[in-house]
């Protein structure tokens, strides 16, 4: 049987496309089906869920041959220019404890090394090179956290860009790794407490388990420096092995904060609980907040004077800051009332509270004192967004970044006592972005909801309805759409392209925006994206033959769904690490934690909703779908690559017309691609050469704009 399987797998079908110079490989179908709520659901490509099997690996090799036929003539020039343009000359510095840290690429290294300095005006010194840890894999520093005495640095390390992390510890003075090693860390921040760190691990024996089924047993542990992980102290474990929770330590390290939920009379109750630090096993968690309203969120900011500040939308849809009594439950008073603008972020640095607000056009920062009084405020240019604030609780200097769709990070520092703002370092770029601009427009979705959208283009562009356009979307998990910088977009924009990024429902751009685009309301997200495409066409930015849709992860779901619902709207679709099989996404890794976002097929209403839009289940025979590129990674266990495999197989078997359906499969890469500079360049070059080719503009592309 296995022999026959391989014969079927490596044979070729008569399906072909383009100039008919090659054919799709035949993909074996199996008679597999499930009966869900009385409906038979066929799943002929389920065997591709075993991504490590020999059969799947052989199928991937054959798909790679298809991909190699789709290189545009701009691919190799793009590698050259993207590599050159991506060497942006600036000082990406941030503050941890008494030191300033930065990452730098070094010759012959795959991932950046860590440098540090005591003063931002002094030259950086080498501290640690992660590339020396494993000759057979790329190892990158994902996060760092410094001890209270500024002597030891916790290094969170990622192998082959995966979500599983390993924690090592570095003696800063001697630049030497300690013997301590913490494994099986995933989706966890790292906080110091006294002589050790708090972290989250799962109950697994091998990281490969997340590729073969669900993982469970998420729990919080404390590791004391100089001991074995086997002796780490269990601090908190939820009542259910499938429950999610998060944690943090307040800036002055007085409290460990747990965000979790428990069942009470069959109802889910959300809780914020505190444990006094330093750790004492005899102490019990104190409930700071108990809420039965799933639409209210709470984020503990930290100790401020004699107060414990919490950022929340409780009785304040735009966000306010409350002062809570840590010794009582639900005992909070308004400290900073809500503004007409939305509060997006708050952080304590020194003796000041930094707040970031966003109105309909731009972002601005506000400093306030221990009484809540506003002391100073400043704006950043329209079309830009704050991307990071760092500083010490005992310092009077804060460092912040801001960027736009066409400008990389500008880095500034502010003296929190004098309010003097100074550019910390100049950012030098090797491309022309002076003629680019971003506007924020509003359009109406299918149900007449008003949706904002960023549109970036050359100032001298002519709206003739023929401009190549990329429509980028996300719209999920309460994550707001903010300006992001990407080097390949610069080449696209400088060649007359338009980049559009709508603030889809499902994101966190406005109060209630997330809830209006999740679970049974998920179709709103797709309607918002489709309406954005129609707006761009109606307003003469572009037309359907010049429009590309792009999205990653949840955004991959958005573009995958919209191309099956409205294939006529787009010429090209790029789905990166997309959630595409909505009936089986929850069966691997921690997919069960996404059930609140998407729904559960064990609920009849959820099932009927999911099967209506699930991309894998909605490809129709004979329809000409857009030229489609599915980007997936072998080490992505957040959204397993089989979802792209199955969607691709459906498109290749059923899709009509001349448009190609192609897989770009990245090895030694994770959910967001590779941490290796050259690999990221190659991937971006292929994606944009694919866009240029199938939008019919590759022969018009110019690279030098200076």
- What does the DSSP 8-state code read for residue 240? S
Distance CA(14)–CA(2), nearest Å, equals 23
Report phi then psi at 397, rounded to 5: -115, 130
Helix (H/G/I), strand (E/B), else coil: 145: strand
Q: Compute the residue count for the chain.
A: 706
Residue position matching structure tokens 């030891």: 152
Residue position matching structure tokens 């804060």: 398
* 295 φ/ψ sector (left φ>0, alpha ψ -120 to 50, else beta): alpha
H-assigned helices in 514-620: 522-538, 554-565, 595-598, 604-613
Contact 683, 690 (CB under 8 A): no
Beta strand pairing call for 286-291 and 267-276: antiparallel
Distance CA(343)–CA(363), nearest Å, equals 10
Question: How many C-beta neighbours within 10 Å does residue 447 have?
Answer: 12
Residue position matching structure tokens 């799962």: 202
H-assigned helices in 217-347: none
CA 354 to chain CA centroid, Å, is 24
Residues facing 166 on adjacent strands:
157
Count of alpha carbons within 13 Å of 572, Cβ hemisphere only?
22
Radius of gyration of the chain (CA): 26
Query: Exposed/middle/buried for 566, CB within 10 Å: 0-12, 13-18, 19+?
Result: middle
Q: Return the active site residues.
A: 553, 671
The structure tokens listed for 370 are 């221990």
Contact 224, 178 (CB under 8 A): no
CA nearest to 492, candidates 689, 679, 677: 689
- What does the DSSP 8-state code read for residue 541? S
Contact 625, 659 (CB under 8 A): yes
Ranges of beta strands (E only) in 436-542 are: 436-444, 450-458, 469-472, 498-502
Distance CA(540)–CA(357), nearest Å, equals 33
Strand order across the 113-117 sheet: 94-96, 99-104, 113-117, 125-128
Asked whether the bond before 278 is cis by omega within 30 degrees of 0, the reply is yes
Distance CA(113)–CA(110), nearest Å, equals 9
The structure tokens listed for 494 are 């400088």
Distance CA(482)–CA(487), nearest Å, equals 16
């Amino acid at each position: 049987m296995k022999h026959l399987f391989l014969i079927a797998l490596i044979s070729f079908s008569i399906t072909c496309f383009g100039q008919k110079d090659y054919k799709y490989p035949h993909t074996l179908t199996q008679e597999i089906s499930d009966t869900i709520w009385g409906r038979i659901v066929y799943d002929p490509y389920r065997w591709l869920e075993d991504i490590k099997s020999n059969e799947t690996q052989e199928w991937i090799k054959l798909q790679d041959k298809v991909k190699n036929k789709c290189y545009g003539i701009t691919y190799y020039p793009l590698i050259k220019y993207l590599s050159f343009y991506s060497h942006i000359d600036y000082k990406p510095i941030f503050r941890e404890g008494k030191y300033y840290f930065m990452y730098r690429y070094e010759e012959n290294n795959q991932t950046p090394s860590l440098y540090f300095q005591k003063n931002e005006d002094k030259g950086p010194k080498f501290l640690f090179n992660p590339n020396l840890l494993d000759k057979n894999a790329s190892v990158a520093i994902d996060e760092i956290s410094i001890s209270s005495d500024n002597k030891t640095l916790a290094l969170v390390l990622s192998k082959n860009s995966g979500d599983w992390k390993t924690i090592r510890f570095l003696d800063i003075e001697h630049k030497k790794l300690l013997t301590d090693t913490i494994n099986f860390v995933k989706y966890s921040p790292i906080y110091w407490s006294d002589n050790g760190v708090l972290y989250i691990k799962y109950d697994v024996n091998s990281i490969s388990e997340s590729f073969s089924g669900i993982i469970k047993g998420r729990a919080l542990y404390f590791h004391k420096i100089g001991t074995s992980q086997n002796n780490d102290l269990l601090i908190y474990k939820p009542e259910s092995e499938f429950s999610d929770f998060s944690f943090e330590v307040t800036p002055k390290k007085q409290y460990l904060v747990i965000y979790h939920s428990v069942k009470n009379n069959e109802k889910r109750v959300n809780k914020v609980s505190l444990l006094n630090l330093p750790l004492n096993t005899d102490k019990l968690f104190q409930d700071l907040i108990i809420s039965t309203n799933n639409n209210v969120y709470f984020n503990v900011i930290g100790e401020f004077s004699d107060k414990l500040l919490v950022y929340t939308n409780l009785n304040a849809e735009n966000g306010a800051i409350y002062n809570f009594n840590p010794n009582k439950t639900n005992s909070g008073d308004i400290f900073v009332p809500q503004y007409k603008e939305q509060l997006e972020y708050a952080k304590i640095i020194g003796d000041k509270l930094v707040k970031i607000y966003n109105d309909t056009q731009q972002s601005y920062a506000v400093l306030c004192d221990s009484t809540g009084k506003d002391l100073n405020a400043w704006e950043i240019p329209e079309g830009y967004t704050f991307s990071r604030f760092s500083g010490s609780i005992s310092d009077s200097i804060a460092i912040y970044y801001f960027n736009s769709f066409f400008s990389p990070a500008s880095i500034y520092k502010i003296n929190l006592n004098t309010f003097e703002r100074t550019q910390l370092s100049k950012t030098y770029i090797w491309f022309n972005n002076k003629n680019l601009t971003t506007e924020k427009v509003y359009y109406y979705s299918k149900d007449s909801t008003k949706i904002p959208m960023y549109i970036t283009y050359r100032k001298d562009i002519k709206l003739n309805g023929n401009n190549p356009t990329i429509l980028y979307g996300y719209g999920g998990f309460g994550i707001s759409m903010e300006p992001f910088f990407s080097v390949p977009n610069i080449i696209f924009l400088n060649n007359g392209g338009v980049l559009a990024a709508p603030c889809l429902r499902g994101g966190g751009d406005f109060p209630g925006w997330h809830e209006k685009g999740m679970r049974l309301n998920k179709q709103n997200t797709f309607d918002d994206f489709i309406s954005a495409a129609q707006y761009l066409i109606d307003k003469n930015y572009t037309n359907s033959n010049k429009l590309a849709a792009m999205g990653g992860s949840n955004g991959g779901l958005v573009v995958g769904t919209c191309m099956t619902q409205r294939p006529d709207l787009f010429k090209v679709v790029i789905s990166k690490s997309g959630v595409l099989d909505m009936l089986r996404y929850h069966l691997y890794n921690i997919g069960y934690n996404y059930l609140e976002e998407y729904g559960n097929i064990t609920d009849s209403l959820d099932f009927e909703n999911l099967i209506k839009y699930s991309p894998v289940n909605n490809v129709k025979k004979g329809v000409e779908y857009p030229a489609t590129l599915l980007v997936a990674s072998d080490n992505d266990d957040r959204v397993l690559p089989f979802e792209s495999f199955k969607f691709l197989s459906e498109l290749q078997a059923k899709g009509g017309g001349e448009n190609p359906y192609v897989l770009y499969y990245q090895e030694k890469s994770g959910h967001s691609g590779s941490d290796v500079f050259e690999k990221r360049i190659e991937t971006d070059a292929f994606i944009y050469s694919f866009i240029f080719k199938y939008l019919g503009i590759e022969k018009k592309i110019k690279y030098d704009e200076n």
